[in-house]
Structure 1
Amino acid sequence: MAVDVEPLREGEYGTKVVAVEPGGIEKIPPSDRHGRPLGLFWTWASPNLEFATIYLGVLATLVFGLTFWQAVLAIVLGNALSSIAHGVLSARGPVHGVPEMVLSRAAFGFWGNLLPAGFLAVTAGIGWFAVNSVSATFALNSLTGAPKWLCLVIVVLAQVAIAFFGHNFVHSFERWVFPVLTVVFVIGAIVVLSKSHPGAPAGAGIPHVGTAGGFFLTLAAVFGYGSGWNPYASDYTRYLAPETSKRAVGLFAGAGIFVSCTVLQIVGAASVTIGPPASDNPTTAFVDTMPSLLANLTLLAIAIGGVSANVLNIYSGSMSFLTMGVKLPAHLRRALVALTFGVIGFLVALSGLDDAGHKYENFLLVIGYWIAPWLGIVLVDIWLRRKDTDGSLVAPVLYDRRYTNWAGPIAMVVGLVVSIRLFSNQEQYTGVVAESNPGIGDITPIVGFLLAAVVYFAIRVPVIRSHK
């Protein structure tokens, strides 16, 4: 049956912290709106204060072959682009009161939105879950000496339990751990930077990939990491009151990602210039240069940071899955999906404890393949609807099963297929252009973003004009 109005989330929730959030992807009613934009800073900073962020900087100088200062430039630029996009998307949450993947229906249509929602459910609820669980597991293993499988069980149970409770508990958890993670990582950063050698020559890098290629690889990976949060944006701003300043929402949400990612990725890049790693365990190798007490505190912070990141991945992954139209008991539908993702993510993470660094590198590059086209389409759609400041024109279509906008799916498929077919530079598949010009690295996300945006604009504008 078609739905022409936005369903309001039922059940009492308010500002309760230790309570299971009711409902799923319905619009948040006015009576439940609460919170301040400032809280978005630590909500988005805490999940990035973890080893996965650091390791991306390590890849830039150790694997992609950049000097420290070349890596810094790519890191700052990649994070700036993804953070600006995150701020724009986050600012829509208070106005519409719905999750980001529900808002995505405006650009893709109700059924066409199954494409990005399906991708997000897999990458967030399973892919990112596994990546961050593994990094937290390595840290806990290094700290305690306990078997890796046991460390993984502890990590998974903690993050699933927090995500199960829902929105308010998630925000509170990120606020509680923020000062702890900040203090430990800032001190660790000072130690690493003081021992680093920024003028050290670039590493060997990937064979046949030149400096420009290494730069684009780093840029794509950094952008993919930061923009990996973009499809979650309004999930964590939809409880704010509609009259909340859009500028403040966008600023604090974007700054949380930019500051945390930029600082830790630069620290990761600097750590490689200290000398060869003394351990195959990447987390152990990172803390080897620190005093023992600080090293242990950093390992604990890395474990907590991994949990902090996966709390959001499970929560938003469940939101995306529900956006696909899955029918579950109304009161606990989101919580039940969170538990399911926890089980599946645990099994995937368990299989990824071996050769984690290589798998992480591939995942970071590939995740940008689909997010970049999706982001290009959504940003163009927002610009085309810029006069709809109160969301009154978008609201009627978000839950309408009859609503179609095939410009979105078509543009995304074109962006994905063409960019991957021509520019992908992975071991599993190398595109036509990348194969004949390996020195360019992997610019698939850049091409996908631009191509999808242009195709969507070209298809959508004539449709809009015909309806005037």
Structure 2
Amino acid sequence: MSLPHAHDAAAVAEPEHVFDGRMPAASGDLRMEARGITPVPEDARYGSPGRLFTVWFAPNLTMTGVFTGTVGAALGLDFATALLAVVLGTVLGAIPTAYLGTWGSQTGAGQLPLAQLAFGRGVTLPGTLQWLSSIAWDALIGLFGGDALAQLCGLPFWVGVLLMMAAQGVLGVLGYEAIHRLQTVMTFALAASFAALAVKLLKGAQPATAATVHGADRAGAFVLTCTVALSLALSWAPYASDFSRYLPRSASRPRMFWYTLLGVAVSFVAVQALGLWGAARFTDQTARGVDDLLGGGALGAFGLLAVALAALCSNAMNDYSGSLALQTMGVRLPRPVAAALAAVLGFPLVLWMHAADTTARFQNVLLFVGYWIPAFVAIVIVDWVVRARARGGRPVDLTAETSRPQPWWPALTAFVVAFAVAVPFMSTSLYVGPVAKALHGADLAYPVAFAAALAVYAPLRARRRP
């Protein structure tokens, strides 16, 4: 019994094993992982919680995070106030990711496949959104990685992006262990490169020490900056257990939680603080700003290479989780093929973002790809807690859990209602809801969506058998 078959009984009789396949046998096994959303059996698990720090640290050291850090300054906040908003938003967004990540070792399953427990057949909707989000993130991050690679090698922008997408596609195809191993190495390399950038920045740039907005406008800018930072960290939540599903059941869950939390929070705060400090130097042409800041030459080339490699690290994870999301939707593509498809589809989106106002399109895509996540997190956590109480402390048995499928309508009802309730609270350059306007641009859509999903789903779930 395995999760992909829980909502499709006919699939059990099919001779092909699209969702199954070869698994990495141990740390360092870099052969292609063919396994899809079928849970990893306990006798095939390996690794320790410590590797969760590097897998969640390295992919966030991207210019996407740096560019996001400039938002607070662009909204008129002084450095200290904007940094406080960044720290608050990042930590709040990282907590759900760290908690959901602990489910991987208990179940051997990825995050979207596990969502079938709560959503039943309705998992197709969040699965589709996650798949589309992974492609959008390919564009958000590949925009800067491709630009850096193009500048480094003297190539046209589109060629740099094409090479970036091809490289990340290969890594996503190789799968879980290849991604973990690369992130371990890149944690040290990227930390060194961003430290060099920070040293140069401290000498060559001065942050805004006085706000240009005041009163209610300042409060609105603070909340929006906090929300943007929160959206960045929370965006990893639907990926969380994808990168812990090979850990043994005996792995310490508190250690898993803290390694993930620290990996996400420390890296995101660091790069956003860097962007905030050098907001005047980092414009739409962020990669060129890095080269100029480092003085060109060998050091500038090293900085551009680091930007490109950071994008590679992050987007490989997008393609990997995108492949699991596509299978969760019921698409019977082998996982490596699905990972390659995500990279291919990300290419035209990068070109679209680069073709006009990068700042506006970047912020809009960043917010829109995440508005669905708070409701998703609330629903799967409520379902998980109800099931945990019913187990009474016994280990998770997915065979038993999937034998008690939930109807699709309570979760989907809460999911849709939460999004609808959040719409008036959204604040983007494309749309500002009436409540957000009244709050001087403050975007409260994320906490509102989370609270609405809890309010709708918890009573409905409590009435069903565990």
TM-score under structure 1 length normalisation = 0.89
- SS of corresponding position for 2:354: coil
CA gap 1:191/1:52 in 2 versus in 1, 3 angstroms: same
Shift of 1:199: 5.4
Shift of 1:434: 2.6
Structure 1 stretch 8-17 or stretch 81-90: which is displaced more?
8-17
Give the letter aligned to residue 48 of structure 1. Answer: N
Q: Report the counterpart of residue 448 of structure 1 in structure 2.
A: 449
Contact 2:21–2:33 (8 Å) recurs in 1: no
Give the letter aligned to residue 340 of structure 1. Answer: L
Shift of 1:241: 0.6
Decide which of 215, 219, 238 is 1:231's aligned counterpart: 238
Q: Report the counterpart of residue 216 of structure 1 in structure 2.
A: 223
Question: Does 1:168 find its partner at 2:180?
Answer: no
Distance between the aligned counterparts of 1:267 and 1:276, measured in 2?
Answer: 11
Question: Does 1:148 find its partner at 2:150?
Answer: no
How many residues in Structure 1 have an aligned counterpart in Structure 2? Answer: 449
Decide which of 99, 108, 122 is 1:97's aligned counterpart: 108
Structure 1 stretch 355-364 or stretch 39-48: which is displaced more?
355-364
CA gap 1:358/1:27 in 2 versus in 1, 3 angstroms: same
Runs of 4+ with deviation above 6 angstroms: none
Structure 2: runs of 5+ lacking an equivalent: 1-7
Q: Which whole-Å deviations, capped at 9, do the CAs of 1:40-83 have from their partners, x for residues lacking one?
A: 11111110011001111011212x22111111111111111122
Structure 1: runs of 5+ lacking an equivalent: none
Give the letter aligned to residue 380 of structure 2. Answer: V
Question: Does 1:60 find its partner at 2:63?
Answer: no
Q: Report the counterpart of residue 41 of structure 2 in structure 1.
A: 29
Note the aligned Cα RMSD (angstroms): 2.5
Distance between the aligned counterparts of 1:129 and 1:391, measured in 2?
Answer: 36
- SS of corresponding position for 1:112: helix
Distance between the aligned counterparts of 2:47 and 2:464, measured in 1?
Answer: 39
Give the letter aligned to residue 443 of structure 1. Answer: L
Question: Does 1:158 find its partner at 2:170?
Answer: no
- The aligned runs of 1:295-334 (5 Å cut-off) are 295-328=300-333, 333-334=334-335
Q: Report the counterpart of residue 94 of structure 2 in structure 1.
A: 83
Contact 2:363–2:428 (8 Å) recurs in 1: no
- SS of corresponding position for 2:369: helix
Give the letter aligned to residue 365 of structure 2. Answer: F
Structure 1 stretch 339-348 or stretch 237-246: which is displaced more?
339-348
Distance between the aligned counterparts of 1:419 and 1:280, measured in 2?
Answer: 29
Give the letter aligned to residue 262 of structure 2. Answer: A
Contact 2:25–2:44 (8 Å) recurs in 1: yes
Q: Percent identity?
A: 29
Contact 1:189–1:264 (8 Å) recurs in 2: no
TM-score under structure 2 length normalisation = 0.90
Identify the structure with bigger relative contact order (alpha carbons < 8 Å, sequence gap 6+). Answer: 1
Q: Which whole-Å deviations, capped at 9, do the CAs of 1:159-215 have from their partners, x for residues lacking one?
A: 00111111111111111222111111112123323444345223569xx98111111
Q: Report the counterpart of residue 246 of structure 1 in structure 2.
A: 253
Distance between the aligned counterparts of 2:379 and 2:122, measured in 1?
Answer: 13
Shift of 1:19: 1.3
Q: Report the counterpart of residue 343 of structure 1 in structure 2.
A: 344
- SS of corresponding position for 1:442: coil
Decide which of 414, 426, 434 is 2:428's aligned counterpart: 426
Distance between the aligned counterparts of 1:404 and 1:360, measured in 2?
Answer: 37
Give the letter aligned to residue 237 of structure 1. Answer: S
Contact 1:106–1:394 (8 Å) recurs in 2: no
Q: Report the counterpart of residue 413 of structure 1 in structure 2.
A: 416
Distance between the aligned counterparts of 1:358 and 1:203, measured in 2?
Answer: 20
Distance between the aligned counterparts of 1:151 and 1:142, measured in 2?
Answer: 8
Distance between the aligned counterparts of 1:228 and 1:163, measured in 2?
Answer: 18
Distance between the aligned counterparts of 1:10 and 1:157, measured in 2?
Answer: 23
Structure 1 stretch 354-363 or stretch 240-249: which is displaced more?
354-363
